[in-house]
């Protein structure tokens, strides 16, 4: 990104979330993996100790990824006064998709009964799809092409998690194999939805102020996955990810004058304790300004940032006059950061 985006009116008008109804705690996972833990002599509690993830949520068997997105959008329409017919565009930003075709956005479009004039599009950028969806929708609002966009994401980690457990319980799995699949054991399920539109509709809505994004595509091999499983190089992924985050934040400092101390709340992508701490230390971010959802919900991919934003709002942590940052690193590698001002 070579120059700053001058937002004049784009805002997040409404938001809502949904969480998988089934809870699975880390000790229960370790009980399932007991044969592997015994053979590798892994200490009980290592999963929670290394990640900080106590529980994760799952949707019932057979639930498509769109379920969380649909439920979150329905919650939004029920609680905010916005209606499906008010939407001009829908972006589905999930990693998981119901099918390779049609687009998951078209399925969600149909289930929510959005108007035929509304465009729909799957927008994928690993765990950063939702931030990119907000940004691209905001640009169209700024240009006067649309009045409102619905940005959604839904993830169901159950199939990938169950496939990973089967892999780890197969013969010949060693310690290196365990840690290459380790990240899959942190995944959780949920949904998020936001309406992006003009602040003229709601002068008290969070306003977009700045957006920056940078990439390290040479590191695309550090995290690769599909429904059958996900493999990562945890140490190298963290090292290169936070390095990219530092470069991205410096770009934000150059374009918008960002200062770590200037943010009242930093909503990060929720991976684990170690990743979040390294991210905060590298960017000199105050730990007490970072709301956490991964301990109770796990890593929900692109759902994580909007879900945590919604959670923080309900907890009274997003106040009038605040400067709020949405920040994340996604496999690829891509880093995106979005600044909001709360009138």
Nearest by Cα to 179 from 39, 316, 25, 47: 47
In a domain, 291, yes or no: yes
Per-residue pLDDT band at 250 (split at 50, 70, 90): very high
Residue 21 has pLDDT above 80, yes or no: yes
Residue range(s) defining the domain that contains residue 232:
207-341
- Asked if the structure places residue 90 within a domain, the reply is no
pLDDT on residue 2: 67
Take residue 92 and report the two structure tokens written for it: 């589905």
Nearest in space to 107 (alpha carbons), one of 117, 95, 125, 121: 121
Active site positions, annotated: 101, 127
Q: What is the pLDDT of residue 186?
A: 95
What are the tens digits of pLDDT across the range 48-93?
999 999 999 999 999 999 999 999 999 999 999 999 999 999 999 9
Question: Does a structural domain hold residue 72?
Answer: no
Mean pLDDT score, 19-45: 96
Q: What is the pLDDT of residues 319-332, one digit of tens each?
A: 999 999 999 999 99
| C-alpha separations of 131 from 49, 127, 152, 177, 244 in Å | 29, 9, 10, 32, 17
- Res. 226 pLDDT band, cuts 50 70 90: confident
Confidence tier at 293 by pLDDT (50, 70, 90) = very high
Quick check: 1 pLDDT over 90?
A: no
Closest CA to 215 of 126, 95, 86, 142: 126
Q: What is the pLDDT of residue 227?
A: 84
Q: What is the Cα–Cα distance from 86 to 82, expressed in whole angstroms?
A: 7
Q: Is residue 325 part of a domain?
A: yes
CATH number of the domain at 285, please. Answer: 3.40.47.10
pLDDT band of residue 222 (cuts 50, 70, 90) is confident
Q: Would you say residue 189 lies in a domain?
A: no
Residue 248 in any domain: the answer is yes
- DSSP E strand stretches across the chain: 10-19, 22-25, 55-58, 89-92, 119-122, 148-155, 190-198, 207-215, 223-226, 229-232, 265-268, 323-330, 334-341
- Tell whether the model's pLDDT for residue 4 goes beyond 90: no
Domain contains 82:
no
Q: What's the full length of the chain, in residues?
A: 343
Indicate whether 182 belongs to any domain.
no
What is the tally of structural domains in the chain? 1
Exposure string over 139-168, b if 16+ CB within 10 A, otherwise e: bbbbeeebebbbbbbbbbbbbbbebbbeeb
pLDDT (average), residues 227-247: 91
Are 187 and 126 in contact by the 8 Å Cβ rule? The answer is: no
């Amino acid at each position: 990104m070579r120059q700053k985006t001058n937002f004049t009116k784009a805002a997040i008008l409404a938001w809502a979330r949904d969480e998988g109804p089934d809870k699975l705690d880390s000790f229960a996972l370790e009980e399932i993996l007991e044969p592997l833990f015994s053979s590798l002599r892994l200490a009980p509690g290592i999963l929670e100790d290394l990640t900080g993830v106590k529980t994760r949520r799952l949707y019932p068997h057979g639930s498509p990824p769109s379920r969380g997105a649909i439920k979150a959008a329905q919650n939004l329409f029920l609680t905010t006064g916005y209606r499906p017919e008010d939407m001009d565009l829908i972006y589905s930003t999930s990693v998981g998709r119901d099918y390779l075709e049609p687009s998951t956005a078209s399925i969600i479009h149909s289930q929510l009964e959005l108007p035929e004039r509304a465009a729909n599009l799957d927008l994928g950028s690993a765990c950063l799809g939702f931030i990119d969806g907000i940004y691209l929708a905001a640009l169209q609002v700024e240009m006067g092409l649309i009045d409102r966009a619905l940005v959604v994401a839904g993830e169901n980690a159950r199939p990938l998690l169950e496939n990973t457990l089967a892999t780890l319980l197969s013969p010949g799995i060693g310690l290196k194999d365990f840690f290459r699949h380790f990240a899959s054991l942190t995944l959780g399920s949920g949904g998020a939805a936001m309406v992006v539109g003009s602040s003229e509709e709601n002068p008290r809505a969070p306003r977009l102020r700045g957006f920056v994004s940078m990439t390290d595509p040479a590191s695309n091999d550090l995290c690769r996955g599909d429904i059958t499983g996900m493999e990562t190089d945890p140490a190298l992924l963290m090292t290169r990810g936070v390095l990219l985050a530092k470069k991205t934040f410096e770009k934000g400092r150059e374009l918008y004058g960002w200062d770590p101390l200037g943010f009242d709340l930093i909503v990060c992508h929720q991976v684990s304790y170690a990743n979040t701490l390294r991210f905060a230390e590298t960017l000199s971010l105050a730990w007490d300004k970072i709301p956490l959802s991964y301990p109770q919900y796990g890593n929900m991919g692109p759902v994580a940032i909007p879900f945590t934003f919604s959670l923080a709002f309900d907890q009274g942590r997003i106040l009038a006059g605040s400067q709020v940052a949405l920040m994340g690193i996604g496999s690829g590698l891509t880093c995106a950061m979005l600044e909001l001002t709360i009138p």
